[in-house]
Amino acid sequence: MTYGRAAAPAVAGGLLLTLLLWWAGASVNALHLQGTADVLGGRVAADLEHWLSPWSFELPDAVRWGTGSVSGTGEPAGVNGSRYTALYATGMQIRIITVFAFFLPGALLLVRRLPPVNGRVPAALAAVWGWGMVAGTLAVTVSAPWLIASHGRGSFRFLPQLAGEMTAGRQILVPASLLAAVVTVLVARVTAKGAGDIPRAVVPAGVARLSATAGTVVVALSLFVLSHQSVAAKLQGTYLSGGLLSEPGDLLRQLLLLGAWDWPAGLALDRWLMYRATDVLLLLVVWWALRLLPSLLTRATVPAMAAGAVGATVMGLLAGQSARILMDASDSGMRWGLVQMTSVIGTGVPAALVVGAVAGTTAAVTLRLTAVRMPDGTRAAPESPSPEPAPRA
């Protein structure tokens, strides 16, 4: 599929994702209307406001009152106050614009290399859905410095503050990215009609399994080794020489750890095993996706495999988190409410971006190293020498 045919779906999905997040932020004011708390419940309304506020242009209380940027009458309190509010507005503008800027190239690559035809629709939908969540997370991250500075404490433990901001607004990204992915895939199916036949590549099963295993080992390293509490504590305690970037520990945890676990101390063994089963579910999703990707892609390039692996890792995270929510719901009987129980959804996307990209690159390199180029330009697994026929008597 050419870039020209893939551009329209990517632009349509990016515009929809941007508009959905802007609309979600603008809807925060509706939660302040009289009677909203009575209809939804005070706790649910507060949780929804917490989810939507990272996408809202409305000044938060920390900026409005904490820095003295706005007086009691609602007017900017002097020059410094107007600068703080201007920083916040600039940060939000960057956040909304960069959602589209980050979504477009990833969706363009995925739609071109993974067109939703010939049985590729579920894979394309999942990959674009995962990339939408990554695009939102990247937009939150690059705009965070302006928002941190607008609170009047930009030079205080900057990296830990940045790590805390990276996961803001993740809950609303899940449905918004899904809707954007659906529109992207539907438009891509229309634009692909005139592109002719887009056949699936033939990849030997052994090569595909070896490639998928190599990529999954990278994810397992983050999930089971780095995510152990003892290792994670050492990462978090990392300290460099003094300065603005001297405390990278929290940021490293966000970028490298897909989970968090420890040995079952004070927790029933069966319960501990059930939680570990959700981690295994993540690995199964990643392995199965990496196993199918080489044959689904029109060309298994390193960027395409990396983008596909990122989407697979995000989908694995969502699958594991959904399983945990169901387990908690069965235990508590929905005592905490659906909004409170689903608050963990979407965590780990920054690590999924880093670890998934490394896993996809590893899978692509393994795929190339274990394949032999054929005379017609295709690649296939090296065949083992067949045994020579026994001499005739």
pLDDT tier, 109 (very low <50, low <70, confident <90, very high otherwise): very high
Question: Hunting for tokens 């393994």 — which residue is that?
Answer: 366
Quick one: which H or E segment has residue 272? helix 269-296
pLDDT tier, 157 (very low <50, low <70, confident <90, very high otherwise): confident
pTM of the full predicted structure?
0.87
On the question of pLDDT at 50 being above 50, the answer is yes
> String of b and e for 107-128 (b: at least 16 CB within 10 Å)?
bbbbbbbbbbbeebbebbbbbb
pLDDT score of 158: 87
pLDDT of 201-232, one tens digit each? 778 888 999 999 999 999 999 999 999 999 99
Contact of 217 with 43, CB cutoff 8 Å: no
Q: Which DSSP string do the residues of 361-382 spell out, in sequence order?
A: HHHHHHHHHT-EE-TTS-EEPP
Contact of 286 with 310, CB cutoff 8 Å: no
Cα separation, 225 vs 14, whole angstroms: 36
Coarse DSSP helix, strand, coil percentages of the chain, rounded to the nearest 5 percent: 70, 0, 25
Cα separation, 259 vs 137, whole angstroms: 17
CA neighbours within 13 Å on the CB side: how many for 86? Answer: 8
**Cβ count near 102 (within 10 Å):** 22
pLDDT score of 153: 73
